[in-house]
Chain A
Amino acid sequence: MHRVLGDRRAIALLLGPALLVYSLIMLVPMVWSLGYSFTKGNTIDGFTGNGVANFSRLFDDPAVRDALWFTLKYAVIVTAGQVVAGYLLALLYVFFLRRASALIRTLVFFPVVLPTVAVGLLFQKFFQVAPQTGPVNSLLNAVGIDSIDFFGSSGSAFWVLVAMDIWRSMGFYAVLLFAGLVDIPDEVLESARLDGATGLRLVRHIVVPLSLPVLMSSLIFSINGTLKAFDSIVALTNGGPGNGTTPLTLYMFQTSFTYSDYGYGSTIALLLTVVSLLVSLVVYRVSRRDLTEG
């Protein structure tokens, strides 16, 4: 076996096809896209090089600042919500519902399998003010509060978006974290209880440290997903009102395909790539340090 793996030609043959496919469908488009960020133009007029003008424009563009800020805010809040809600649900499954949790797990998981666009429309109807009063506003009216136009200002639209995305995906994180929790040996929990650790103390000192690896994977999953959020936002608000809920992904999409400014669009895409990379590295670093200590 060692001789086979020591043979360069064998390595080339075994890795070759995969590397080729990977290069063609991942690396080539990435480099290609990077190349576009030094150009100006569109598919109709053709492309001409314009040096680093797109990059300097990136730094001056207030819309990019808004979109970046929105993306980060959204990623942090939704990630926190998803993982915390998921973790609480997982704790609920393991410690309170125990064996009877299958039905609840299924119900909470259900929104995960729904198409995002359907969920978006559902929430639109749920929070709408006109032409019909949605259930949320009806409830507000019933307790004597005037209807609120949730999608009329970027502040309230943002919170509807956050609520929707947490609702939609907490079931997934609950199941993921549940798998981590059931892995904790019963003997460990038992002995901790004998030592007098109950309730919150048990969770804080035994359960959380022991489920940290899966908690970290959830965080990485979640933050990468939310940084790249696109479909749920398009379905619910389409970036509006104005550009109040426009993340980098949507701004990139609009710039490239609606305003047909492909060069600048791929510069924005590059920014998003760098941000995702940095955030992943940070989370990865933190998780490694914690693991060695724990």
Chain B
Amino acid sequence: MSLRMPRGRRTRLSLFTAGTASLALLATACGGSGGSSAAPDNFNYLSVTENTTVKTALTTLSKGACKPANDALPLKVETVPQASLDQKLQLLAGQNALPVQFAAGNAPALTQQLAKSGKVADLEPKLKELGVLDQLEPAAVSTIKALYGGKLEVLPYEYNIEGIFYNKKIFADNGLAVPGTWDELVSAAAKLESKDVQPFSASGQQGWPLTRLISDYLFRSLGPDALRKVADGQAKLTDPEYVKAADEVAALGKKGYFGKGVGSIDYDTAMNQFLSGKAAMFYMGSWALANISDAEQNKVGAANVGFMPFPAVAGGKGSVDQYPSNVGLGIALAAKSFDEKTGAWVSCITENYGATALKDHGTITGFKVNTEVKDANAVTTQVRDTVSSSRQNVLWFEALFSTKATTISQTNAASLVSGSMSPQQFMQTVQDALAAQ
């Protein structure tokens, strides 16, 4: 039989097919423009899994000082692992679906890119309008501006300086003084190693705790603008004086000062090695004070932990009172959902966050502390004093790099200290990644 259908049915069928096809096409074509700015239903906050301080502190605020803001626009926290944050942000930005507040990307370059396309709120005029700009610490504001091309694009939920935390007891037992120069640091490490104490703990899996050592060496030997010159193309990482820094750090690894299998040590393990007294020194930011103040994690006791600046390099142009500083993972606000209700949240945060974070978590932020808070321990006081007395800030190795160069630098750092990559090779690889974009 021949297959025939009544005309009406055929028309319906073809219409149905056409309809399905166009719907499917529509579904695939969607995603470009998200339409006009819709007022958000929640104070959506996209955070990273690794950082628990910000979300806990915000939740505390939502029940306390910021309750009115929270009633108008309830806080809703969502988290992603830090390693996939950049991807998530890029996809959300592409769909014009950025949350009200979100952890800015791992490299400032991404946030700047978002800002350029008008997706991130420029906070300076907004905060001025709300009358709370003076609630931010000037040091934090200047650090943010140095990172984000002169603009205030993120809020400083953290304000960190970096340096070397050391175990006072291990130092005293081995007759070591706090090293003032790089050479003294290396010889202290050699002495510890000879007594079977692991000199440093560091996470090679994360990579940045190792590349920070390279950049700090560069800031001490070549001065605070060492990496700015690389970003501007006036110098190359493959220049001999730059390779020297990688060389020095690689030498520490070669002598086994980072312990076994540094490439497979993750952040928590490195922290744990130091806090359980298995390593004498730990290069880290002041956010580690939260862990140091926590008696449950810190087996050596907070009184046993000291803080020293990254040492000077003999004959170098930099000095020890130039502190590597950062605002942690800055938190940006989406431009399109910044309305009155969001503004209420932001004003409340700027006024109260500093005290809450210091009191509950022992962390230092870029917000002013408006109520008197007693420090948890001596090392916190020491770091807070250092923050308020530090005169010049420097950034970190990857601060001015692209996302690609950042990733390449951090994933290869372990190979550098384990000796499977030469310092020259390492710097060349990172320089190539920098040149690629």
Question: Residues of A with Cβ closer than 8 Å to B?
Answer: 3-4, 7, 9-10, 13, 16-17, 20, 24, 28-29, 32, 42-45, 124, 128-131, 147, 149, 151-154, 239-244, 254, 257-261
Given the interface pairs A45-B117, A153-B420, A239-B411, the reply to whether A128 lies near B90 with Cβ below 8 Å is no
Given the interface pairs A44-B93, A260-B90, the reply to whether A130 lies near B259 with Cβ below 8 Å is yes
Given the interface pairs A152-B261, A258-B86, A259-B407, the reply to whether A242 lies near B17 with Cβ below 8 Å is no
A7 contacts B117, C-beta separation under 8 Å: no
Across-interface contacts of B263 in A (CB, < 8 A): 149, 151-152, 240-241
A43 and B414 CA atoms in complex are apart in Å by 32
A241 contacts B117, C-beta separation under 8 Å: no
For residue B215, CB closer than 8 A to chain A, the reply is: no
A131 contacts B412, C-beta separation under 8 Å: no
B414 contacts A24, C-beta separation under 8 Å: no
State which residues 51-94 of B face A: CB under 8 Å: 86-87, 90-91, 93-94
Number of interface residues of B (CB under 8 A): 43
What 1/0 mask marks residues of chain B from 400 to 428 whose CB sits below 8 Å from any chain A CB?
Answer: 00111001000110110010110000000
For residue B312, CB closer than 8 A to chain A, the reply is: no
Given the interface pairs A3-B1, A130-B265, the reply to whether A258 lies near B414 with Cβ below 8 Å is no
A260 and B113 CA atoms in complex are apart in Å by 11
B17 contacts A20, C-beta separation under 8 Å: yes
Contact of B273 among A32, A129, A131 (CB under 8 A): A131
B94 contacts A149, C-beta separation under 8 Å: no
A7 and B261 CA atoms in complex are apart in Å by 70
B420 contacts A152, C-beta separation under 8 Å: yes
Residue of B nearest to A32 (CB): B28
A16 and B407 CA atoms in complex are apart in Å by 47
CB distance from B403 to the nearest CB of A (A): 6
What 1/0 mask marks residues of chain B from 350 to 375 whose CB sits below 8 Å from any chain A CB?
Answer: 00000000000000000000000000
For residue B24, CB closer than 8 A to chain A, the reply is: yes
Given the interface pairs A13-B3, A20-B17, A130-B260, the reply to whether A43 lies near B93 with Cβ below 8 Å is yes
What 1/0 mask marks residues of chain B from 240 to 280 whose CB sits below 8 Å from any chain A CB?
Answer: 00000000000000000001111111000100110000000
Most buried by B among A9, A16, A258: A258
For residue B177, CB closer than 8 A to chain A, the reply is: no
CB distance from B237 to the nearest CB of A (A): 16
State which residues 35-51 of B face A: CB under 8 Å: none
Contact of B264 among A28, A32, A130, A261 (CB under 8 A): A130
What number of A-B contacts does a CB cutoff of 8 Å give? 115
Across-interface contacts of A32 in B (CB, < 8 A): 28
Residue of A nearest to B258 (CB): A130
B21 contacts A151, C-beta separation under 8 Å: no
For residue B114, CB closer than 8 A to chain A, the reply is: yes
CB distance from A218 to the nearest CB of B (A): 34
- Given A3-B2, A7-B3, A260-B90; 13 other pairs, CB 8 A cutoff: A10-B2, A17-B17, A28-B28, A42-B90, A43-B93, A128-B261, A128-B264, A130-B261, A131-B265, A151-B263, A152-B418, A241-B414, A241-B418
Residue of B nearest to A44 (CB): B93
Given the interface pairs A42-B90, A44-B94, A152-B414, the reply to whether A10 lies near B21 with Cβ below 8 Å is no
CB distance from B154 to the nearest CB of A (A): 17
Most buried by B among A32, A149, A240, A259: A259
A43 and B114 CA atoms in complex are apart in Å by 10
Residue of B nearest to A5 (CB): B3
A258 and B95 CA atoms in complex are apart in Å by 17
Interface of B, secondary structure class, is helix
Across-interface contacts of B403 in A (CB, < 8 A): 258-260
Across-interface contacts of B265 in A (CB, < 8 A): 130-131
CB distance from A288 to the nearest CB of B (A): 37
Residue of B nearest to A240 (CB): B411
A178 and B4 CA atoms in complex are apart in Å by 49
For residue B119, CB closer than 8 A to chain A, the reply is: yes
Across-interface contacts of B119 in A (CB, < 8 A): 44
A154 contacts B420, C-beta separation under 8 Å: yes
Across-interface contacts of A124 in B (CB, < 8 A): 264
A42 and B117 CA atoms in complex are apart in Å by 12
B90 contacts A44, C-beta separation under 8 Å: yes
Given the interface pairs A44-B93, A239-B411, A258-B403, the reply to whether A9 lies near B260 with Cβ below 8 Å is no
What 1/0 mask marks residues of chain B from 1 to 14 whose CB sits below 8 Å from any chain A CB?
Answer: 11100000000000
- Nearest first, the 3 closest Cβ-Cβ pairs linking A and B are A43-B94, A130-B261, A129-B261
CB distance from B211 to the nearest CB of A (A): 13
Across-interface contacts of B429 in A (CB, < 8 A): 242
Given the interface pairs A7-B3, A45-B117, A258-B86, the reply to whether A243 lies near B418 with Cβ below 8 Å is no
State which residues 276-306 of B face A: CB under 8 Å: none
CB distance from A265 to the nearest CB of B (A): 12
A7 contacts B28, C-beta separation under 8 Å: no
A258 contacts B264, C-beta separation under 8 Å: no
A242 and B2 CA atoms in complex are apart in Å by 65
Across-interface contacts of B116 in A (CB, < 8 A): 45
A152 and B403 CA atoms in complex are apart in Å by 24
What 1/0 mask marks residues of chain B from 196 to 229 whose CB sits below 8 Å from any chain A CB?
Answer: 0000000000000000000000000000000000
CB distance from A159 to the nearest CB of B (A): 15
CB distance from A95 to the nearest CB of B (A): 43
A35 and B421 CA atoms in complex are apart in Å by 37
A64 and B351 CA atoms in complex are apart in Å by 51
Contact of B2 among A4, A20, A243 (CB under 8 A): A4
A254 and B273 CA atoms in complex are apart in Å by 31
Contact of A7 among B2, B17, B260, B273 (CB under 8 A): B2
CB distance from B106 to the nearest CB of A (A): 10
13 A-B pairs with C-beta separation under 8 A:
A24-B25, A43-B90, A128-B261, A129-B260, A129-B261, A131-B265, A149-B264, A149-B418, A153-B420, A242-B429, A243-B412, A257-B90, A259-B407
A58 and B263 CA atoms in complex are apart in Å by 30
A45 and B93 CA atoms in complex are apart in Å by 10
B261 contacts A4, C-beta separation under 8 Å: no
Contact of A151 among B17, B91, B261 (CB under 8 A): B261
B412 contacts A242, C-beta separation under 8 Å: yes
Contact of A242 among B95, B404, B421 (CB under 8 A): B421
B415 contacts A45, C-beta separation under 8 Å: no
A225 and B264 CA atoms in complex are apart in Å by 28
A258 contacts B261, C-beta separation under 8 Å: no
CB distance from A50 to the nearest CB of B (A): 14
Contact of A241 among B28, B402, B404, B415 (CB under 8 A): B415
Residue of A nearest to B403 (CB): A259
CB distance from A157 to the nearest CB of B (A): 9
Residue of B nearest to A17 (CB): B17
Most buried by A among B21, B90, B114: B90
